[in-house]
Amino acid sequence: MIDSKELIVSGTDVGTECVKVVVVDRAHKILGRAVVPTRGYFQDCIQEATGVALEEAQLPATALKAMCVTGFGASCAPVASLTVSETACHARGAFEHFRRPMTVVDIGGRDPKVIDVDAAGRTRSVHSVRKCAVGIGTFLMFAARHLDVHPTRLMDLAATAEKPARVGSYCSIFAEVEVIDLLKSGVGAGEIALGCMHSIAERILEMGGLKDPVVVTGGVCEYFPGVLGALAERSGFAVELAPEPIMSGAVGAAHFALDSVSQAR
Amino acid sequence: MAAENRKTTSAGARLQSSERLKEVMAAHFAAILEAQRAKTAPVAWCTSVGPVELLRALGFEVYFPENHGAMLGASRIANEVMSQAHARGYSPEICSYLTSDIGAHLAGKTPLAKYGFTDVPKADVLLFNTNQCREVRDWFEFYGREWNVPVVGVTSFRGLDEVAAHHVDAVVRQLEALIPTLESVAATKLSAGRLEAAVRLSKECSDLWRDCLHTAATRPAAITFFDSTIQMGPAVVLRGTAAACDYYRVLKEELEARVAAHRGAVDAEAFRLYWDGMPVWGKLRELATLFASLRVSVVASTYCNSWVFDALDPNAPLASMARASLELFIARAERPKQRYLERMAQEFQVDGFVFHDARTCPHNSNTRFGMPQRLAAATRLPVLTLDGDLNDLRCYSEEQARTNIEGFVEQLEDRGPL
């Protein structure tokens, strides 16, 4: 059992597909974590995920000295001592592990980001996707439904294909319509699934700003590593996955929470 | 690393001159309404950077539909009405000033209602200059057909590296060719003296407006881009009149007093940004408030400086009008555009650039041919691109813009030596 007088903080990433929470100690050790699907009100999901992470850490909520929140629904967090942008949190989450200059590509449920991180871990530039190409998570869920597999099986399906079907990257809705057109034309489900991964990789490339080496964070590649392969294949760069990529934003947020407590002291 | 909650403050300090501005704009619209009702003067439509001095010299009351477009955007009537223009074959991909203005006309809605109008004022002639885009001509031709009145104008050069004498000559000849039609509609002859006077007043207005904008070059900036988009009204619709000059003397005095008192438009200004591209009219207040809450002054813009016409010269009216219309940023090639942006960055001591990629205004969006990347490399300043539109809010994501702006400001806070 951890002493609740220890310096314990949490990092929360409130995404459109999942709410992620980590509870960490002063040595940045993760004591508890939770990933809860986003549904209904963000506030309820944040509360649920925080409860699960604290339960795993065997700590009461009162043990948290700081709570840093990031992500799309960050403003909905009922109690937060700190709010930091997604870009800063993903960059920090990746940098604390790799400790080198890199391009961090955050591919989450909504809008991906290409973040140029320097040798000191500072963000140098951020590129975002245009409005009509957002909704990566929703697009993959749509594809899974029409390919008649559970979303967690979409990757297995893609792995059966030798080459991807052509699925456009310009607009998420156009791409969804193309998935249905491809099915109607009798194209193999595996090829379509792999084509969806390539569609996402192309959206990333179209954003600009990609430089070697590339580190991918965010939930999409946690569940759909085919996107990582497609990105490496299409960019020609070395593309690595951050450890537990879905948690990168929450881990980065936890680092900011620790900073804030240290600075306050 | 950035690590603090940001408190929302107001959109910035309010300018006292704004009350006078309302009166000036109301008088402008009242004069057009009166001319239309009582036939006291012919009414002309003119594009915002068109050859208005010819119209002033001939006694026209002049109406600027882009001003109406901006009002439709700011009042958010645009998104209620533009589908009526789409339904008549004007694509959602073209200028949303055009589609919202024509849509508003078809729907019988206008923010000019507060000035007594039930529709846009009917023109006796419509005068365009395509130096900014081809859409203005298409826009005016819709009304030309609607009202069976002449549509005349200048088909200008675009994408110029340097403005050469032969470019100026070609525009002068077109301006000269417009005169008989305009004289015929006005039922009077163009007087050289009146044209010189109009150009003199336009130049004076331009100089005063530039002085006002330049008060943002000091730290803290006395005026922001968001204020300037409102304050520029007289520079657009009253260029070539004494009323515009009178107003900018008042505004200049207030802004210079702010500079003398070291009083900024944004409380505790921490960062200074340059805005390139059109305003997002329907989100002007939200963006002003967001930037102010982040202690960011958007100190200068290509857009508001588009009504600074250095070349105007009353001693050479037509030639200087032609040159001024060709030297405009929007009419230039990428190299002079970049040089201009670099110079403005230095002059206004900016910490970064925000480019607005307006979906339906490619001519005012300088993001599509690698400019942000080249500018960042040349100035070593960070650049943020926001997707959006001048009037069509379907092209704008408030959440995406907010997170991108907040992330960009964190980036500025973290910025070490390059």
Domain CATH code at residue A56: 3.30.420.40
Distance CA A143, CA A243 (A): 26
Q: Is the pLDDT of residue A208 over 90?
A: no
The full set of domain ranges for chain B reads 18-413
pLDDT tier at B149 (50, 70, 90 boundaries)? very high
pLDDT at B418: 39
Mean pLDDT of B248-262: 97
- Are residues A131 and B396, on separate chains, in Cβ contact within 8 Å? yes
Q: How far are the Cα atoms of A170, A201, B283 from residue A206, in angstroms, in the given order? A: 9, 9, 27
Q: Which of B1, B373, B406 sits opposite A259 (nearest CB)?
A: B1
Distance of CA A210 to the CA centre of its chain: 17
Question: Which positions in chain A have a beta carbon within 8 angstroms of at least one beta carbon in chain B?
Answer: 68, 72, 80-88, 92, 111, 113, 118, 120-128, 130-131, 134, 208, 256, 259-260, 263
Residue A185 DSSP SS3: coil
Contact residues on chain A for B358, CB-CB shorter than 8 A: none
Q: What percent of chain B has pLDDT over 70?
A: 96
* Residue A17 belongs to a domain: yes
pLDDT digits (tens, 9 = 90+) for B269-310: 999 999 999 999 999 999 999 999 999 999 999 999 999 999
Q: What is the Rg, in whole angstroms, of the alpha carbon atoms belonging to chain A?
A: 19
- The pair phi, psi for residue B328, each rounded to 5°, is -55, 145
Q: What is the DSSP string of B16-34?
A: TTHHHHHHHHHHHHHHHHH
pLDDT at A2: 56
B385 touches chain A (CB under 8 A): yes
Q: How far are the Cα atoms of A25, B149, B207, B219, B246 from residue B214, in angstroms, in the given order? A: 52, 41, 10, 11, 18
* Residue A66 belongs to a domain: yes
Instruction: Sort strands A18-25 and A8-14 into parallel, antiparallel or unpaired.
Output: antiparallel
Distance CA B246, CA B241 (A): 9
Mean pLDDT of A38-55: 96
Q: Which of A85, A121, A208 sits opposite B403 (nearest CB)?
A: A85
Distance CA B356, CA B276 (A): 6
Instruction: Using the Cα atoms of residue A232, residue A237, residue A241 and residue A247 in order, give the sign of their dihedral.
Output: negative
- Are residues A82 and B5, on separate chains, in Cβ contact within 8 Å? yes
Distance CA B413, CA A223 (A): 34
Helices marked H in B58-134 — which ranges?
Answer: 65-74, 78-86, 96-107
B400 touches chain A (CB under 8 A): yes
A112 and A149 Cβ atoms separated by less than 8 Å: no
B370 touches chain A (CB under 8 A): no
Mutant choice from A67, A130, A172 vs B, greatest count of B C-beta within 10 A = A130
Contact residues on chain A for B397, CB-CB shorter than 8 A: 131, 134
B402 touches chain A (CB under 8 A): no
Mutant choice from A67, A84, A170 vs B, greatest count of B C-beta within 10 A = A84
Residue A173 corresponds to which tokens in the numbers above? 């809705």
B240 and B194 Cβ atoms separated by less than 8 Å: no
Distance CA B261, CA A151 (A): 62
Q: Is the pLDDT of residue A172 over 90?
A: no
pLDDT at A8: 96
- The pair phi, psi for residue A247, each rounded to 5°, is -95, -5
Q: Which of B376, B382, B407 sits opposite A88 (nearest CB)?
A: B407
More confident residue, A130 or B74: B74
Residue B395 corresponds to which tokens in the numbers above? 């092209």
Q: Is the pLDDT of residue B1 over 90?
A: no
Nearest to B193 by CA among B49, B42, B58, B41: B58
Buried-state track B176-189, b at ≥16 Cβ within 10 A, e below 16: eebbeebeebbeee
Residue type, A16: T
Q: What is the mean pLDDT of chain A?
A: 92
Q: Which residues contact A227 (CB under 8 A, 6 or more apart)?
A: A107, A197, A200, A201, A216, A220, A221
> What is the count of structural domains for chain A?
1
- Total-model pTM: 0.86
Q: Is the pLDDT of residue B86 over 60?
A: yes
State the count of interchain CB pairs (< 8 A) between A and B: 77
Contact residues on chain B for A131, CB-CB shorter than 8 A: 387, 395-397, 400
Q: How far are the Cα atoms of A168, A182, A194, B103, B187 from residue A187, in angstroms, in the given order? A: 15, 6, 12, 44, 71
Least confident stretch, A68-72, A173-177, B58-62: A173-177
Instruction: Give the domain range for residue A14.
Output: 8-92+247-264
Q: Which of B385, B396, B406 sits opposite A85 (nearest CB)?
A: B406
Mean pLDDT of A53-79: 94
- Complex confidence, ipTM: 0.74
pLDDT digits (tens, 9 = 90+) for B178-201: 999 999 999 999 999 999 999 999
Nearest to B148 by CA among B117, B126, B120, B181: B126
Buried-state track B252-286, b at ≥16 Cβ within 10 A, e below 16: bebbeebbeeeebbbbebebbbbbbbbbbbbbbee
Mutant choice from B403, B404, B408 vs A, greatest count of A C-beta within 10 A = B403
Q: Is the pLDDT of residue B4 over 50?
A: no
Mean pLDDT of B97-126: 97
B411 touches chain A (CB under 8 A): yes
B382 and B376 Cβ atoms separated by less than 8 Å: yes
A91 and A248 Cβ atoms separated by less than 8 Å: no
